[in-house]
Chains A and B, each alone.
Chain A
Amino acid sequence: MSEARPTLEELKRRKALSRQRVERSGEVMTVSMGPQHPSMHGVYRAELDLDGEVIVAVRPEIGNLHRGVEKLCEERTYHQIIPITDRLDYLASFVMNHGYCEAVEKLMGVEVPPRGRYIRTLAAELCRIANHIMWLGIHIMDLGTQTFFCICFRDREYILDLLEMLTGARLTHSFGRIGGVAKDLPDGFDRRCRKVIDFLPRRVAEYERIVKHNRIYYKRAKGVGIFTSEDCFAWRVTGPPLRSAGVARDLRRDEPYAAYDEMDFEVAVEYNADVYDRFLVRMKEIRESCKIVRQCLDNLPDGPFVASDAVHALPLKKNVLRDSAAMIQDFYQVFQGPLAPKGEVYRAIEAPKGEMGVYIRSEGGAHPARIHFATPSFYHGQAVPPLVEGEMISDMVAIFASVDVVLGDCDR
């Protein structure tokens, strides 16, 4: 990197340049952007005050996709909550299962067997790759070219095929289980996965050739939507936007869960805190994810993939009709659900979009008393006003895409 790393003061000065436009603004026109606007990624609505093309003020409105997920969870057993978590960030639904299962395991003290931890890591990284490729397509489409969107969707399809093979579903995987995962790796998965993982870095290089060195992309993305590390901390912005601001915070490395402590990977960091660097960070992350998936396949340990903990985990399905103990366990798990001790836990994992925290308060029994998902999109969505004020309306869509918001994740 020949470019010098900008200091925090330098970034603040650059940000202040765009803020000046807000102070100079005169009469404003109010525009309602969304919820059915083409580039509001679902049903986000923003009321913009525009002075010409410059955005003077933004009043975001969320909740159009609110489904009462947290309340629904209170009525269900700990196993039954897993499919609901799929519907949070539906572009990386296994990661949502994973975060929830980690929290429940912490609450109940369930130990996940090594093979289960490896399969979780593998599936989570595949989800991360799929999410980042999808993000790239949408981000580029928001900048005006639709062809690249189709290229990205073609490549995402390879990952979705793998996930379908692994979990049986393309979008809502419901693959996590308390104490492990739902299924073992299917036959032939190893070979097919390696094939995809081998060519994917070449595809990333192709994306970079198309996008990174594109003059128009550079002009549109460089220095736009600056969000310094201070701002990120103040607004709880995590994940790629935080790492693009020069903070090497990645829960996979800092607070390892699943099998990440046994993996060798680098945390992608960039320093300019703008849209361009968020793109670079995500491209690096796809490469690192490929590395992690390969390591998972190479070092996959033998043994059970789900804990044999009869009190908290479901039995293997094939044993249920043959083994009376397993049948009793199944009956008990399905009709009553696992019992949790009294207490509260918070567990955060690194979802593709940022840090995804799960808070569970249990008063004993089979249902959680309160469950809260601290999902990244919610915090990224609330940071939209400080991100875009002073920028132009064309940048609004680019910046909004660059922080990666999924409304299912945001509204819950």
Chain B
Amino acid sequence: MIKVSGLTKDYGARRAIHNLSFDAKKGEVVGFLGPNGAGKTTTMRILTGYMPPTDGEALIAGYDVVEESLEVRKRVGYLPETVPLYTDMAVFDYLKFMGELRHLPDVDNRVDETLEMVGLLDRANGYIGNLSKGMRQRVGLAQALLHRPEVLILDEPTIGLDPGQMVEVRELIRDLGKERTVLLSTHLLNEAQNICDRVLIINKGKIITEDTTENLQSRLVGGERVLLRVRGEADELADTLKQIKGVQKVEAQADGAVEFGFSAGKDLRPEVAKQVIKAGYDLLEMRPLGMSLEEIFLELTGADKKK
């Protein structure tokens, strides 16, 4: 549904994105993850036909974003990061206007349906200028959904929402993603973990890694980490663990537990368990620690900085 190859965009001398390639299938929610200024918005603006790339090609539903921009724009729903809206218009009038620009049949009903989807039906006649940030966000989302597009491109869709609204919007996006392609950008890692089937991590205009959220978690950079908890003092436990061959990075936790790591592929857990029992501890807990996206992210972008 989305196919991007070799996409490059320069703003004057500054290269915003560099040779970006990825694709997204129908029914897939793809997260675009990266720090501010990584090139997420630039990529999305190119995909929505807002601006042309300096180099490379992007196809949406088989249409080229530069050559067949109008066809692309018909098929894409876009929520820009800043959620620009005509604040002097009523919610209903604004959506009707956008619907008319898309030549939607029976536009009044369509607007009502969409407002119901985003839970704004009771504010239909209110002026956009009087709405809270969260509600404006939902008006923007309604605008993106109005024509039931095949591809939804959402730039930071939950930014500025309160936690309750965040959950609602995420559920809505997950629902929408079942039958269409969703590309969303975020710098919230748990959000990506929550909604996305696949995550693209982007930094300084380049894709650093691309994988499903599960794979990213299991793909511990350099090995796996395990948390161990015993009854009694943990300080000596750490010393015990350090003596076991292959155990790395032993860290005593403040609550008395100990974390340790080992290289991927060499599962040392049985050996550790034996040694702990042998040393006379009561083993209470031993559990693998998945690396959070946050850590993966820091690891990846940090590693990039060192280069």
Physical interaction between A and B: no
Which residues of A are interface residues toward B (Cβ below 8 A)?
A: none
Which residues of B are interface residues toward A (Cβ below 8 A)?
A: none
